[in-house]
Amino acid sequence: MTLRPAAAAALLLATLSACNALPEDYAPKHKKAQPTAKATLAAAPSPVPTLAADNPARLAAARAVVPAKLDSYSFDGDDKLIDTPFGPVLLRHGHNPDAGHSEPGIIAAYYLRAEGDRFALVNSYPDAAVSGSFGNLTRWSVSGAFTGLPVIVVEGGGTWQGCTVGLTDLIELRPIGPAPIASITTTFDTSGMTEAKGEAYEGTLTDVHRDSDFTVRYKGTDSFAERYVRRGNRFVLEGGDSRITGC
């Protein structure tokens, strides 16, 4: 028997409706899949709100739009190009080998805008961080542990009249520019001031809870801890007075 095209189509539709032979767990390919535990973890915010972006090509492109030298400071070559929520930022460690005792080292921050495989300079902050003596700071890094924005962690210090003091400064990279959010004395040594033994302490930042608090644990002449808590846009010492009295 030969069916007309219209009759054949009607028969096919009727047959498909009547059979309904698809398995109960069948789902069309376009159906939105339910999220798995792995997918949920992958979509969760990273615990570090900044990503290293300093691959050689991008770093070279960023350096091309910022000053090669800054006043009397030369750059060490340990630049860091980071991706922030508001765009890429190039951080440069400047030092002056001919500086006097009281002159610090610097971290310069350059806010950039990506334009294809190149960058445009948006804003310059040549003294985003200032620390240390003899034209240099001790060490520096970038952390995502303290706040929801990248934070420059800068260590620097010096010795004055036999008293050695080292500071750790936290500078938050905000969309409107770098801003200091804490300054902690993490090295203190008075042994050069007196014939007696003096006091000596070394502090380490630990137990960091983002946007909430962190603890500085000291060892040396005595062992103790001090807690810094977030108050507005800064971290302040709980209780107000540190046991490290200064020189």
User: 115 is in which domain, residue-wise?
Assistant: 51-237
Distances (CA, A) of 230 to 13, 18, 147, 235: 68, 68, 10, 4
Residue 152 inside a domain? The answer is yes
Residue 223 inside a domain? The answer is yes
Among 27-41, 202-216, 232-246, which range has the highest average pLDDT?
202-216
Tell me how far apart the alpha carbons of residues 128 and 173 are, in angstroms, rounded to a whole number: 9
Predicted pLDDT at 196: 75
Residue 33 inside a domain? The answer is no
The pLDDT tens digits of the residues spanning 179-227 come to 999 999 999 999 888 777 789 999 999 999 999 999 999 999 999 999 9
Residue 219 inside a domain? The answer is yes
Q: Do 108 and 129 contact (CB within 8 A), yes or no?
A: no
Query: How far is the first Cα of the chain from the last one, in angstroms, to the nearest whole number?
Result: 109
Number of domains in the chain: 1
Report residue 228 CA to chain centroid gap: 18
Question: pTM for this one?
Answer: 0.78
Residue 214 inside a domain? The answer is yes
Beta strands in the chain (DSSP E): 51-52, 74-75, 80-84, 87-95, 105-115, 118-131, 139-143, 151-160, 163-174, 177-189, 200-209, 213-220, 224-231, 234-237
Q: Do 81 and 88 contact (CB within 8 A), yes or no?
A: yes
The pLDDT tens digits of the residues spanning 202-215 come to 999 999 999 999 99
Residue 216 inside a domain? The answer is yes
Which stretches within the chain are classed as H helix?
A: 5-19, 37-43, 56-63
Residue 19 inside a domain? The answer is no
What is the pLDDT of the chain when averaged over all its residues?
Answer: 83
Predicted pLDDT at 195: 73
Tell me how far apart the alpha carbons of residues 18 and 140 are, in angstroms, rounded to a whole number: 73
Residue 4 inside a domain? The answer is no
